[in-house]
Amino acid sequence: MQKKSIAILGGGPAGATLAALLARDGYNVGIYHTEKRPELIVGESLLPAVVPILRELEVEDEIKAFSVYKPGATVWLSHDEIIPFEFGWAKGGLPNYAYNTPRKEFDEAILGAAIRNGAVLLPYSARLRQEGDSVFLDDGSLAASDGLFAGQPDMIVDATGRSRQIAKLLKIPTQRGTRKDTALFAHMDKVVMTSPGHIHVDRYEQGWGWRIPLQGKVSVGIVVDPLHLKKYGDRAEEQFDNFIAGNQCIGLYAKDARRLTSVVKYSNYQLISQKMYGKNWACIGDAAGFVDPVFSTGAYLALKSGKMLYQAITLDRPGAFAAYEKTFHRELGMWQKVINTWYNGRLFSLYRAGQTMRNNFIGKGIEPHIEKHLSRIFTGEAVNGVYSRGLLAFMSRFALLVRRPKDLVIH
């Protein structure tokens, strides 16, 4: 039986993961992909939940060679509260490590796996036309396949990231988050890291930021309300440099640092498409939905959605795509709930509650439990574990009785 033909729009991690898995199974896969990309891309710190997929794609060793070993995450709440979490504390089913990785090389590694498995790279920006709930490649896009697609492919997959080509064409409604922050980031040298290999997530009086150790440099990002950023200048470089110089956290850790790249600007909002598949199409990665980057979920959700859609396509049963949409909607929604507890202060009011109670009988039993399940947020395991999700929700409510999170709210 002849395998279906699949056109994938976009060769980033989501599209390349799907292409690699399908091509390995004998599907006729074409990836419409051009090399146009910004100098830097958000998502340089991976979760342990990504590692099993890297192994499945047979690229972990390649990625390891140009990455920094990541054993955990450190959260900076204040000069007196610097909280490290080791992935090993989670005691779950995932590896106790991940990687901090330059996205250009990471993306190339995943795309390389797709090509090795038999997917065909088509250096063309595909265009689509609509007929009802179906989408089709236009004549120029078909011609650009150079005979790979004799006619219209059986399925078209949108992996174009925030361009969201199919969603915009079909005017699919979306659910938007409440925050409209701006993310500015660049690579710097000589930035101090208190926990070797860890991603450092720093809480500021206004907004938050990250420090990600890469080979020979550190990725530094700030996520701040755009109105507040205007106080620091008009251009992205001015805002970034002046904010860092005047901030009590990152200003201290980067006081001897030098910026090595230009500053990249992203609109950091949250958006989830209500519909992720149709008669002959589906969306994956950011093209389906994206959430705040605070817990480094971007690359994980890209690879995870690519694998989930692969399973739906190969299952080839009624309801498979509906199940994909339902599961990915649920995953995005659960991550958004966890992310909300970072912004409203409840997540680390839970940590403080555990610290407050650690010297009494009940607290001695609760604190290790809190530590374990907080760590599972940073591995990616908490969102997929019913017990972890339930415990964190219950304990966050309990923590409010012990200590109010007002001073932990992210403005």
Looking at residue 189, which CATH number applies to its domain?
3.30.9.100
Do residues 281 and 252 share a domain? no
Model confidence at 347, pLDDT cuts 50, 70, 90, reads confident
The structural domain count of the chain equals 3
In a domain, 231, yes or no: yes
Do residues 168 and 59 share a domain? yes
Do residues 305 and 403 share a domain? no
> What is the pTM (predicted TM-score) of this model?
0.93
Three-point CA angle 161, 164, 170, nearest 5°: 160
Do residues 280 and 263 share a domain? no
Query: Of the residues 269, 301, 320, which one is the last residue of a structural domain?
Result: 269
| Strand pairing category for 289-290 and 264-273 | antiparallel
Do residues 199 and 289 share a domain? no
In a domain, 301, yes or no: yes
In a domain, 367, yes or no: yes
In a domain, 51, yes or no: yes
pLDDT, tens only, 266-308: 987 789 999 999 999 999 999 999 999 898 999 999 999 999 9
In a domain, 77, yes or no: no
pLDDT, tens only, 188-228: 999 999 999 999 999 999 999 999 999 999 999 999 999 99
Cross-strand bridge partners of residue 78: 81
Query: Of the residues 227, 245, 269, which one is the last residue of a structural domain?
Result: 269
CATH of the domain at 165: 3.50.50.60
Lowest mean pLDDT among 68-82, 235-249, 377-391: 377-391
Do residues 55 and 129 share a domain? yes
In a domain, 85, yes or no: no
In a domain, 373, yes or no: yes
Do residues 199 and 325 share a domain? no
Do residues 371 and 223 share a domain? no
Do residues 15 and 154 share a domain? yes
Do residues 55 and 161 share a domain? yes
Do residues 111 and 22 share a domain? yes
In a domain, 97, yes or no: no
Using DSSP's 3-state secondary structure scheme, residue 262 falls into coil
- Count of all residues that appear for the chain in the document: 411
pLDDT, tens only, 375-387: 777 788 766 655 4
Q: For residues 161 and 179, give the distance between their C-alpha atoms in angstroms, rounded to a whole number.
A: 19
Q: Which residues contact 245 (CB under 8 A, 6 or more apart)?
A: 251
According to DSSP H, which parts of 170-265 are helical?
A: 226-229, 236-246, 250-253
Do residues 157 and 286 share a domain? yes
Query: Of the residues 316, 336, 356, which one is the last residue of a structural domain?
Result: 336
Q: Which residues contact 213 (CB under 8 A, 6 or more apart)?
A: 68, 100, 193, 196, 197, 198, 199
**pLDDT of 343 over the 50 cut:** yes
pLDDT recorded at residue 241:
98
Range of the domain at 17: 5-39+47-64+103-172+274-336
Q: Which residues contact 198 (CB under 8 A, 6 or more apart)?
A: 70, 71, 72, 73, 74, 84, 213
